[in-house]
Amino acid sequence: MPRSHSMIPFLLLLLVFQSVHADKPDRTKVRPEMTEGVRQEGSFIFTYVDEKRRRRLTLDVYRPAEGEGPFPAIVMFFGGGWQNGRPALFAPLAQALAQRGYVCIVPEYRLSGEAPFPAAVHDGKAAIRWARQNAKRFKIDPERIASMGGSAGGHLAGFMAASNGIQRFEGKGDHRSKSSDVQAAIVMCGPMNLLTKERIEQTETAAKSAAGSPVADFMGGALPSESETIYREASPLTHVSRRTPPMLFIDGERDRPRLRYTEFWEKMDELHIPHEFVLMPDAPHPFWVMREWFDPTVDAADRFLQTHLSK
């Protein structure tokens, strides 16, 4: 039976619709899924943060289901302005990287509403020490541990790396006989200097609003104009030294790319510390939670760590 001429415009419209939607980027949120080859070990107490040992912090562990190891490890810090968030936010990335052969550890840390800086730093260091303490149990190579994080978590991941060997940031948590040094770090749009002109203006302005400033809250309510010292102390830039390991920085194209790291890179160059940068095209903040940029993020992290955490 011949096709009706009245159907032709409809079919052309359908083809155009299908073509447009076939090319449309997939910006749906990536959900946790227990993929083949990944073993989720569960949650573990890694430290206590009060003298009576009643307030405990936990972390989640994901690792390759097969292989003798020892495997390199990644301690991963979720974002949320230092004021909210939970380890489950990084479950998809942890699972994907565990599939690539890494033991991924996602700790909670005290948020600003509970305790200001440097509490979150102390907790991050404690999580790294826990990884070394439990290296044999989870097939971790204690000489190959990286930090990784996004946004506020990127700040913490960068802080872990910049402050290698600085004892005053260890806190009073558990496993103090173990080192909290990392051998590499991955920072996804995390601020490395809290005292840039732009950052100071943002913080001072936001503090006057009803919502307030997450940075000021992280500083215990202090503003840069009132307490420049603590902002400098909380900036990873301040602590870069020859002990700082190679670092990868990843930004979204729509999220002020590179601006957070300019001074940090200059300091790394002075000390001849390797660093790399990856730009996610057309990506917003936070790009790593969306399907379009999820796999490229995993690929970039894996390539970098294969280079800098190789035996």
Range of 204's domain? Answer: 194-234
pLDDT at position 126, please?
98
Strands 56-64 and 103-107: antiparallel
In this structure, the answer to whether residues 207 and 115 fall within a common structural domain is no
14 assigned to some structural domain:
no
Residue 268 and residue 273: Cα distance in Å, rounded? Answer: 5
pLDDT at position 32, please?
82
11 assigned to some structural domain:
no
Residue 102 and residue 89: Cα distance in Å, rounded? Answer: 18
Q: Nearest 10 degrees: CA dihedral of 293, 105, 265, 286?
A: 30
In this structure, the answer to whether residues 185 and 204 fall within a common structural domain is no
Tally of domains within the chain: 2
In this structure, the answer to whether residues 289 and 145 fall within a common structural domain is yes
22 assigned to some structural domain:
no
Radius of gyration of the chain (CA): 22
In this structure, the answer to whether residues 301 and 274 fall within a common structural domain is yes
- CB atoms closer than 10 angstroms to residue 244: 24
Last residue of a domain, which of 209, 234, 259? 234
Residue 90 and residue 129: Cα distance in Å, rounded? Answer: 20
4 assigned to some structural domain:
no
CATH assignment of the domain containing 35: 3.40.50.1820
Structure tokens that stand for 70 in this block: 């020892």
206 assigned to some structural domain:
yes
Q: Is 41 exposed, middle or buried (0-12, 13-18, 19+ CB in 10 A)?
A: middle
Structure tokens that stand for 171 in this block: 């806190």
In this structure, the answer to whether residues 56 and 153 fall within a common structural domain is yes
Instruction: Give 10-residue mean pLDDT values along the chain (311 residues).
Output: 52 47 73 83 96 96 95 98 96 96 98 98 98 98 98 98 98 96 98 96 95 96 95 98 98 94 98 98 94 96 96 73
Tokens 């809290």 -> residue:
194
Residue 38 main-chain phi, psi, to 5 deg: -115, 135
Last residue of a domain, which of 210, 234, 258? 234
